[in-house]
Amino acid sequence: MAANTTHADDTRDTTRRSTDGLWTRIRTNPQPALRWGVVAAVLVVLELGALTGGILTLVDALVMGVTGLIDVIVGLVSPALAGRVVDVQLALSTFIEGVRSTAQSLPTLLSRDVIPNQGYNDPSTVRSFLGLSYNAWTGPFLGLSPAAAWAIRMALTLAYSLFTFYWLYRGWLTFRTHYRRAGWTPRDDMVNRLRNHSWGKFGIVVLVLFLTMSLFGTTLAPSTVQQNITASYGNEVQYVSDDTGAVETIPVGEANFNSKSKGNPAQNVGVMTYDDYGRFHPFGTLPNGRDLFTYMMGGAETTLMVTGIAIGMAGFIAALLALVSSYYGGTVDLSVLTLADGIVSIPQLLLLIMVSVVFQDHWLKSVFNGGLLLALVFGLTTWPVLWRSLRGPALQVAEEEWVDAAKSFGQQPTVTMRKHMLPYVLGYLLIYASMTVGGIVIAMASLSFLGNGLGITPPTPAWGRAISQGQPYVSSASWHIALIPGLIIVVLVTGANALGDGIRDAIDPESEGGSEEEAAATGGGA
């Protein structure tokens, strides 16, 4: 086998395997890179403002997560010092916020300003298009109806983000076929297997859609969180009054008040309907008249922040401790085991309730409307589960002779762990992390469902709270309130599990079909 593969592509070798850097390799054969680069540049320009904004949101979350962890650790030693860290944290966050608002003013093709969907329908306004005259709306894109304008914008945004993701993958393929020195790597096989794994691909699509929802939520929704939910009395909408027939202005809050979904057909704004103020509600409204679709997009951002920080932190701690405990073994392993067992033995829900109460008036509770505190608790209680799953594979790798070989020529333990053990553990981390994410999403939703100071502080959107608000109306005309958020959570959690399955089968084709781990991993929700 080896002899064949060794000689098969020898000719290709000599032509492109030089010792120069990537840049030189691109210069000698610029065409594929150019082709990819032009499209990528167009994609970036299309969404420059939103992309920078999205990246900055992620940076913000990262900064918050890291400084938050430092806060907690420093706070154990000296509360005064922790106060300093908070100052730094807030300064950084304000700075990022500032940059983000500047970024939002960058030209962005797919935005609410370019394709607006809000306005009023004055019957006297008539436009003509291609010789056809029609009754046009004032405000929305091309005078279309708000529903059509919104649908165009949403479809374009989704297409854009799915295509961008695909184009990133294409970029890697271009690198792999034209510029990578190695003709083949073990990772290629994994990617190829994942590419043929439809269940795993479903997971990827769900994840991309979720990321789009949380990063481009403002563009996707018919309204914005700020306008419709958090500052509804600070914003106004124009509408054509039924009574007078004239265009009138009303605060959003008041419009919401008159657009409630309360279960009886007389007082309900259902799925894909307009309210009395010419506003289109794709998912209907909440019992307090707010737009459910906007609410869900806002909730997606909160969910992404919290689960992202939590799973990132848990995964990092778990991988680090798994490497250390399996490399050194003995007492180190035993102490990590004891610590992990100790943490696992605390009921997560009780801990969350306790932390929510204790930190009621603490500044930590105010970061991300309580999201950071939740993320910290989830992160610090989830790592033992991940660590336990990683420890087995890590111990197995630590037994390999190449680890001994590294020791025999005097390699640093940290380098040995990173180069010789981590690549083997990382795949398992991805599997278990994507399966655990479902548990965190559900746990978070349950907290918001319970309410009473738990979970995300109102009025910031949280999926669980939407379900809780819709609970009394499940069997009535306003069934959409609880059902849609519930379905979205189910699809997201299933998608995360599907992705985990896909990665597992990609890494280890022999394991295909096993299902015990998923059950165990998803059962972890509070």
Partner 1 sequence: MSQQSIQSTADADQHSQPLVEVTDLKKHYGDGGRFSGPPVKAVDGVNFEIQEGETLGLVGESGSGKTTLGRTLIQLETATEGTVSFDGRDITKLTGSDLKQWRKNAQIVFQDPDSSLNDRMTIGEIVREPLDAHDWNSPAERRDRVKELLSSVGLQADHYYRYPHQFSGGQRQRIGIARALALEPEFMVLDEPVSALDASVQAKILNLLEDLQDEFGLTYLFIAHDLSVVRHICDRVAVMYLGKIMEIGETEELYADAKNPYTRSLLSAIPRPDPTIDRNRITLPGAPPSPRNPPAGCQFSTRCPAKIRPEAYADIDDDTWSRIEQFREVVRERTRDQMGVRDRVKRRLGTFSKYDDIEEAADDLFADVDLPAGITDTVDTAIEAVKDGRPTEAHDALTREFGGVCDTERPDMHQVSDAGRLSYCHRHDSEYDSVADTLADRSHE
What span, in angstroms and rounded, lies between the C-alpha atoms of 292 and 281?
Answer: 7
Q: Return the percent helix, strand and coil in the chain, to nearest 5.
A: 70, 5, 25
Query: How far is residue 367 CA from its own chain's centroid?
Result: 18
Shortest distance, position 434 Cβ to partner 1, whole Å: 21
- Backbone phi and psi for residue 134, each to the nearest 5 degrees, phi listed first: -140, 160
Decide whether 55 or 415 has the Cβ nearer to partner 1. 415
Residue 244, amino acid: T
Decide whether 153 or 420 has the Cβ nearer to partner 1. 420
Shortest distance, position 352 Cβ to partner 1, whole Å: 39
Residues across the chain: 526
Shortest distance, position 188 Cβ to partner 1, whole Å: 10
* DSSP at 291: B
Decide whether 10 or 341 has the Cβ nearer to partner 1. 10
Shortest distance, position 19 Cβ to partner 1, whole Å: 6
Place of tokens 């630590």: 398
Decide whether 135 or 335 has the Cβ nearer to partner 1. 335
Decide whether 19 or 452 has the Cβ nearer to partner 1. 19
What span, in angstroms and rounded, lies between the C-alpha atoms of 37 and 58?
Answer: 24
Kindly list the residues in this chain that would bind partner 1 in the complex (CB under 8 A).
1-3, 5-6, 10, 13-14, 17, 19, 181-186, 400-402, 404-412, 415, 419-420, 423-424
Shortest distance, position 407 Cβ to partner 1, whole Å: 6
Burial 423-443 (b: 16+ CB within 10 A, else e): eebebbbbbbbbbbbbbbbbb
Shortest distance, position 419 Cβ to partner 1, whole Å: 7
Shortest distance, position 29 Cβ to partner 1, whole Å: 17
CB of 294 closer than 8 Å to CB of 366? no
What span, in angstroms and rounded, lies between the C-alpha atoms of 364 and 206?
Answer: 31
What span, in angstroms and rounded, lies between the C-alpha atoms of 157 and 212?
Answer: 8
Decide whether 61 or 403 has the Cβ nearer to partner 1. 403
Q: 49 to each of 213, 215, 251, how far by Cα in Å?
A: 16, 12, 29
R_g of the chain computed on alpha carbons? 26
Shortest distance, position 304 Cβ to partner 1, whole Å: 31
CB of 287 closer than 8 Å to CB of 208? no
Euclidean distance between the first and the last CA atom of the chain, given in angstroms as a whole number: 51
Decide whether 97 or 404 has the Cβ nearer to partner 1. 404
Q: Which has the closest alpha carbon to 492: 202, 157, 210? A: 210
Decide whether 85 or 190 has the Cβ nearer to partner 1. 190
Decide whether 1 or 130 has the Cβ nearer to partner 1. 1
Q: Which has the closest alpha carbon to 137: 151, 150, 127? A: 127
Shortest distance, position 34 Cβ to partner 1, whole Å: 24
